[in-house]
Structure 1
Amino acid sequence: MKYREIEKSISKLWRLAFFIFILSFGVHSQIYAAEQDGKITLSFSDIPLREALSRIEKVSDYTFFYDEKNVNVNQKVSLDVKDVNMQSLMTALLKDTNLDFEISNRQIVLLSKRSSGSKTAKRHISGVVKDEKGETVIGASVVVEGTTTGTATDIDGKYALDVPVGAKLKITYVGYRPFSVEIEDQTIVDVTLEEDNKVLSEVVVTALGIKREKKMLGYSVQDIKADELN
């Protein structure tokens, strides 16, 4: 008698496991199909924006970027869409907020509406700085031209900075030509720096008679022409 009960219990467990597997496979298939068609179906109510963005990332191949100083990710949002593209989804998600968005290369940047449409508006700019060989440049200076606002690239050559619309972003690094770009609608600015052959070829002779690249010296160097020396 006990053996039959055990056998029935095992049979029920197998049927339950098989049902869960089929259900899970069906859900993942629907998500995959939505991504393939570029359409998304999603529904939730009154949850923090941070959680909403996380859910959207899970059912799509988009990534969100925002500055928490300007974007309140704890505000509650709701969404109920079916078979829509990302543009329509984001419009529906942010309709009752003070936020706007921009989509570029599977990346979505959230912005404050209060600053949009104004020349004093700021864009959250991010990107990667590389050299001509494709190697990332560590410690490159990224500055809003004419100001002291700036940052430096990290170990992966990445940077992020709030830049006023209409201002110029200037990227510099020793041994490379300066690069500058005017900020308008873009949010991603990847940069490739070109070597400055004039700087790289300039050498000096130290007191010990050893040649060194001028840029590599840890002290100031004064140029003296031959006729002045005579």
Structure 2
Amino acid sequence: MNYTKLAFSSRKRRQNLLIFRNFTILFLALVLLPARVLAQKGNVSVNINNGTVKTFIKELEKQTRYTFVYRNNVLNDQAKVTVNCQNKPIDQILSQVFTPMNISWSLNNNTIVLVKKEAPQKKSEKKTLKGTVTDSRGEPIIGANVIQEGGVGTITDVDGNFTVTADPAKP
């Protein structure tokens, strides 16, 4: 028996197995992974008339591999939606449904996170008030306190005049 021939054949067999394994991995990466990505980034068709938001979410979860995550206080269980979209990107459909509800969303891997948008705070414009404090005879009162509820105030000058910057949003 020739041992060099036997060693060569086992080395050749090992090499062939490595080539087959690498080819299989490459095949799976090229064929199966794009199909999974396509299902997530592809277009979706949704037809819901006056259904609940949760029905809408379940429909999207069926058609894609996305899972929705949100706190209980984000969605109104009674809120109704009507969506009629054929073959549209998921981000357009999400915007169509959640923007009017004041809900923002983000895509993270296989998860869609829903968050209630903060109500925009009104910019408080301060007003400058000027005036004169007089007594019952019309004489100016020197050193009178002029205060807005909440502590903002000033004192009148020697002519009874005052200027105060007040916030109309405060009582």
TM over 0.5: no
Structure that is richer in helix per residue:
2
The answer to which structure, 1 or 2, has the higher relative contact order (CA under 8 A, 6+ apart) is: 2
| TM-score grouping bracket, smaller chain normalisation | 0.3 to 0.5
Larger-Rg structure: 2
TM-score with structure 2 setting the length: 0.44
TM-score with structure 1 setting the length: 0.33
